[in-house]
Amino acid sequence: MLSATINRYVHGSLEPREDDIVRVESGDLGISVDFADDKSLTFDGRLDLFKAAIRKLGRGGYDIFLRSEAPPGSGLGSSSAVMVALIGLLKDYHRLALDDYEIAHMAWQLEREELGIRGGLQDQYAAAFGGFNFIEMGADQVVVNPLRIKPDVVHELEHNMLLAFTGRTRSGDHIIEDQSARLAEHDSEALAGLRMQKELAVSMKNALLSGKLNEFGALLGHAWEYKQKMSPKISTPYIAEAYSAAIGAGALGGKVTGAGGGGFMLFYCPFRKKHRVAAELEKLGISITEFGFTHHGLRTWTAHG
């Protein structure tokens, strides 16, 4: 699959304490909780990402604070970025030697296996590594291939791409469950959609490497068409209306980020038409946000104040 990271970050800090209390605070949820012992780390739907990371990497006495620049269910991989950030903080605190592959795999393991959160594994690897990557996922191995996209191509992508928030998240829509069930039942539409997703990812990678951005924009639209075949829950009448309006105003192609059902939509537009696309989407109550690409994944450091 093809992956790129943008400048929407999860920020965190860890400060050692003189006692054995673990205090965690979520700036997004406005929640602060103290954990005095392992019994208080039971998964109950309240700060479970924090609990899973602490249970895996070990307790101690410290305060952890985290906040994210993307809301849960937005399709921007925010929960995986939170988990990667937590592992990064605790790795440094416990002085563990973990590389990016090990951090990404641990984040996937904690989210998908420990917590039972449905989804793939691309978000964890994207957050850990950062940048433009072509990620190959085998039965027992993941290989992250960094892509050397020319700076002018990156600038043109930023110039022409439009990120739009529908204001609706996909929480509770069971999109991934429905998609997985259809693949398990060998649904022909879902399987065709999955196969084409893989083929189009290669074509999109080649278009980026060769700087053929109009072709990339059109392929983005084709990928969205085939993604919808994987589950009827991926799109909604509202999303379909917004997509049609964007294409009518001049966008060459686009998609819903993440699993679908809501969150953010991403479009590629010729720059001279980008403002028209934005105006049509805003008429539908969709907010437009500026963004840039970043080549950095997980970054941690130690400071002494």
pLDDT (tens digit per residue) in 130-182: 999 999 988 789 999 999 999 999 999 999 999 999 886 655 457 777 777 88
Span 225-247, average pLDDT: 92
pLDDT score at 169 = 65
Which carries the bigger pLDDT value, residue 11 or residue 173? 11
Rg over CA atoms, the chain: 20
Say whether pLDDT at 18 is over 80.
yes
Architecture of domain 151-289: 2-Layer Sandwich (3.30)
List phi, psi (to 5°) of 110: -70, -45
Nearest to 8 by CA among 264, 222, 179: 264
- What pLDDT was estimated at residue 217? 96
- 145 by Cβ neighbours in 10 Å (0-12 / 13-18 / 19+) ranks as exposed
Give burial (CB, 10 Å; 0-12/13-18/19+) of 237. exposed
Q: Is the confidence at residue 280, as pLDDT, over 80?
A: yes
pTM across the whole model: 0.91
pLDDT at 50 over 80: yes
What pLDDT is attached to residue 186? 80
User: Does the annotation count 123 as an active-site position?
Assistant: yes
Ordered DSSP codes for 276-291: HHHHHHHHTTPEEE--
Q: What rounded mean pLDDT belongs to the chain? A: 91
Which listed residue (123, 140, 152, 173) is catalytic? 123
Percentage of the residues of the chain whose pLDDT score is greater than 90: 68
Structure tokens at 278: 């934005």
Domain borders along the chain are 2-146, 151-289
Q: Would you state the structure tokens that stand for residue 304, as one six-digit string?
A: 């002494």
Does the pLDDT of residue 24 top 60, yes or no? Answer: yes
CATH 3.40.50.1970 fits 2-146, yes or no: no
Helix 78-94, helix 48-57: angle, nearest 10: 30
